[in-house]
């Protein structure tokens, strides 16, 4: 018997559980991590671009104001110009530097660059006639510049706004910190959810695995406790049905072995008794020798019949397509030949054996096997019908199936026994098994043969009222895939 290793089962369980847990956790946490990175970068980009645009806009406004009021060309307005710059710088929170056309600072709200050359890339770009704004990450500062021109569109200076990005960075850090806490909380929740999901799945799987291990060790009485209505519960139901069938098969196997032993033991015991009688008795008359030898021969024939029927059942149990020799033949002719062969047995008991061919039926089947199956039904009907009784055989059909019916006026079959008559070695009339002969395998052979032909067999009966067997066989044989 093949068994499932406990070590293998544990490794399989642990590996699959870990994989499922990791999959559920990662599927949940990865989008959160990606979103966390995305939102952080998006916020930083947003604030950077927004600050650059805003400073560039304000730099242009200041440049237009300087150009309009001629602050660079007229000294009398210079003091008012400086005061306005200081007020705006204090109000807005950024540094303002104004240079002439050579890049020399003429105004600085910090006063530190006045009179000095401002070699800043943004100023050089502005003096070249272009506006510019940049965030320098290393300094955490935004630089925005705009050019100043006179009425003749000549570049006479530049405005540079310098704004610290520290406040924005602090805000971004606070947002990132809060989002990190949210991410950790989400990760913990996802961890718990992943654990609960894997636990909910693998607890029943563990029970299923342990039950299968016990079943594989031969404990076929084990059953799963099925709860709910999902795929796992349906799997549990399927395993319970399979186990029940295995238990039934095992019971049938044990009964079969017991029945075979009993059926073979009986003729062997008779042969041993008869042979010992011959050996122990001296000067036995020839007539007695002959009688004993005839009895021994009969018992040997009985054993041969049992073995032949067992071999036939073994072949039928394979249910392979190659086991059938399919040919087209007339069912009416086959049944007529069977009835003709069994007629002497019926005449001996004064039984009326009647054949009714309602339709001419041509069928595709294994003629040899089907002949044996139908013969068993008719012989059983004759054997179990009392003297002066009647056995009626009918052949009929429709456009798809052939119907073979055997109706007798025999001893009948109780409803309880109708479910067992196709079991091997089962006899309805156990008190007459030796009298009627047979091996108790005929109906089992018939049932297996009919199933091989994709047909069906049904019985209708009651005790003391005879029995009616109806066999249905498809007219056209179809392979079982």
Q: What does the pLDDT read at residue 391? A: 94
Q: In 3D, which of 420, 467, 409, 415 has the Cα closest to residue 447?
A: 420
Q: What does the pLDDT read at residue 407? A: 93
Domain with residue 86: its CATH number is 3.30.450.20
Residue 258 domain boundaries? 245-315
Residue 266 lies in a domain: yes
Q: What does the pLDDT read at residue 429? A: 52
pLDDT in tens, 158-177: 888 888 877 777 777 787 78
Q: Rounded mean pLDDT of 171-199?
A: 79
Residue 224 lies in a domain: no
Q: What does the pLDDT read at residue 443? A: 81
pLDDT in tens, 100-146: 888 888 888 888 888 888 888 888 888 888 877 666 655 578 888 88
Task: Give dist(CA 165, CA 341) in Å, integer.
Answer: 112
Residue 203 lies in a domain: yes
Cβ neighbors of 361 (< 8 A, separation 6 or more) are: 330, 331, 332, 395, 396, 397, 402, 475
Domain with residue 341: its CATH number is 3.30.565.10
Tell me: do 3 and 64 sit in the same domain. yes
- Token representation of residue 375: 């013969």
pLDDT in tens, 280-297: 777 777 787 788 788 788
Q: What does the pLDDT read at residue 330? A: 94
End of a domain among 285, 315, 345?
315
Tell me: do 266 and 360 sit in the same domain. no
The mean predicted confidence, pLDDT, of the chain is 78
User: Does residue 464 carry a pLDDT above 90?
Assistant: no
Residue 399 lies in a domain: yes
In order of 347, 383, 435, 465, the CA distances from 386 in angstroms are 12, 8, 13, 12
Tell me: do 69 and 173 sit in the same domain. yes
Q: Rounded mean pLDDT of 24-50?
A: 75
Residue 479 lies in a domain: no
Cβ neighbors of 82 (< 8 A, separation 6 or more) are: 107
Give strand pairing partners of 458. Answer: 470
Confidence of residue 312 (pLDDT cuts 50, 70, 90): low
User: Does residue 29 carry a pLDDT above 80?
Assistant: no
More confident residue, 426 or 33: 33
Tell me: do 126 and 1 sit in the same domain. yes
Between the ranges 77-86, 93-102, 467-476, where is the mean pLDDT highest? 467-476
Tell me: do 140 and 261 sit in the same domain. no
Number of domains forming the structure of the chain: 3
More confident residue, 305 or 161: 161
Task: Give dist(CA 319, CA 313) in Å, integer.
Answer: 10
Contact 380, 441 (CB under 8 A): no
Share of the chain above pLDDT 90, in %: 13
Rounded to two decimals, the pTM is 0.45
Tell me: do 57 and 151 sit in the same domain. yes
Q: What does the pLDDT read at residue 435? A: 46
Tell me: do 211 and 346 sit in the same domain. no
Residue 95 lies in a domain: yes
Q: What does the pLDDT read at residue 431? A: 42
Tell me: do 93 and 192 sit in the same domain. yes
Tell me: do 105 and 153 sit in the same domain. yes
Q: What does the pLDDT read at residue 352? A: 93
Q: What does the pLDDT read at residue 137? A: 56
Residue 228 lies in a domain: no
Q: What does the pLDDT read at residue 3? A: 39
pLDDT in tens, 330-387: 999 999 999 998 898 889 899 999 999 999 999 999 888 888 889 889 988 998 888 9
Tell me: do 174 and 42 sit in the same domain. yes
Confidence of residue 410 (pLDDT cuts 50, 70, 90): confident
Tell me: do 350 and 465 sit in the same domain. yes
Task: Give dist(CA 427, CA 429) in Å, integer.
Answer: 6
Q: What does the pLDDT read at residue 350? A: 93
Tell me: do 79 and 137 sit in the same domain. yes
Determine the 3-state secondary structure of 381 from DSSP: helix
End of a domain among 299, 315, 331?
315
Residue 377 lies in a domain: yes
Q: What does the pLDDT read at residue 332? A: 94
Task: Give dist(CA 70, CA 104) in Å, integer.
Answer: 17
Q: What does the pLDDT read at residue 4? A: 41
Cβ neighbors of 457 (< 8 A, separation 6 or more) are: 422, 446, 447, 450, 469, 470, 471, 472
More confident residue, 255 or 462: 462
Domain with residue 270: its CATH number is 1.10.287.130
In order of 26, 214, 249, 421, the CA distances from 245 in angstroms are 42, 16, 6, 19
End of a domain among 295, 315, 335?
315
Confidence of residue 262 (pLDDT cuts 50, 70, 90): low
Confidence of residue 438 (pLDDT cuts 50, 70, 90): low
Q: What does the pLDDT read at residue 169? A: 74
In order of 188, 329, 457, the CA distances from 450 in angstroms are 63, 16, 7
């Amino acid at each position: 018997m093949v068994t499932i290793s406990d070590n293998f089962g544990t490794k399989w369980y642990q590996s699959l559980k870990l994989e499922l847990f990791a999959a559920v956790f990662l599927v949940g946490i990865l989008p959160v991590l990606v979103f966390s990175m995305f939102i952080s970068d998006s916020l930083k980009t947003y604030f950077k671009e927004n600050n650059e645009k805003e400073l560039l806009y304000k730099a242009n406004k200041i440049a237009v104001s300087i150009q309009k009021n001629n602050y660079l060309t007229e000294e009398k307005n210079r003091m008012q110009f400086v005061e306005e710059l200081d007020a705006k710088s204090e109000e807005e929170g950024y540094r303002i530097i104004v240079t002439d056309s050579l890049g020399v600072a003429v105004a600085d709200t910090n006063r530190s660059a006045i009179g000095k050359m401002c070699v800043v890339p943004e100023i050089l770009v502005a003096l070249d006639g272009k506006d510019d704004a940049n965030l320098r990450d290393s300094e955490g500062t935004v630089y925005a510049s705009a050019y100043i021109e006179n009425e003749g569109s000549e570049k006479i200076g530049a405005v540079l706004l310098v704004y610290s990005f520290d406040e924005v960075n602090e805000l971004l850090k606070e947002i990132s910190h809060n989002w990190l806490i949210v991410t950790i909380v989400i990760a913990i929740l996802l961890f718990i959810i992943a654990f609960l999901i894997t636990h909910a799945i693998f607890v029943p799987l563990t029970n299923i695995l342990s039950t299968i291990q016990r079943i594989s060790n031969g404990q076929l009485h084990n059953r799963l406790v099925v709860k709910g209505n999902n795929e796992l519960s349906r799997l549990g139901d399927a395993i319970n049905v399979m186990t029940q069938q295995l238990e039934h098969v095992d019971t049938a196997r044990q009964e079969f072995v017991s029945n075979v032993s009993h059926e073979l033991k009986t003729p062997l015991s008779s042969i041993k008794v008869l042979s010992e009688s011959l050996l122990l008795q001296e000067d036995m008359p020839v007539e007695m020798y002959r009688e004993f030898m005839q009895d021994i021969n009969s018992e040997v024939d009985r054993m041969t019949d049992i073995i032949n029927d067992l071999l036939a059942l073994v072949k039928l149990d394979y249910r392979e397509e190659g086991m059938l020799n399919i040919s087209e033949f007339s069912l009416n002719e086959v049944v007529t030949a069977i009835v003709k062969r069994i007629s002497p047995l019926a005449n001996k008991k004064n039984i009326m054996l009647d054949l009714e061919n309602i339709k001419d039926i041509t069928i595709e089947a294994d003629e040899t096997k089907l002949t044996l199956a139908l013969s068993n039904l008719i012989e059983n009907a004759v054997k179990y019908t009392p003297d002066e009784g009647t056995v009626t055989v009918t052949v009929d059909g429709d456009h798809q199936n052939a119907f073979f019916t055997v109706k007798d006026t025999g001893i009948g079959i109780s409803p309880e026994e109708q479910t067992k008559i196709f079991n091997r070695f089962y006899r309805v009339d156990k008190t007459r098994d030796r009298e009627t002969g047979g091996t108790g395998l005929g109906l089992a052979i018939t049932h297996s043969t009919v199933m091989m032909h994709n047909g069906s067999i049904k019985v209708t009966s009651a005790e003391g009222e005879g029995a009616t067997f109806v066999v249905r066989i498809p007219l056209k044989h179809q392979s079982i895939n």
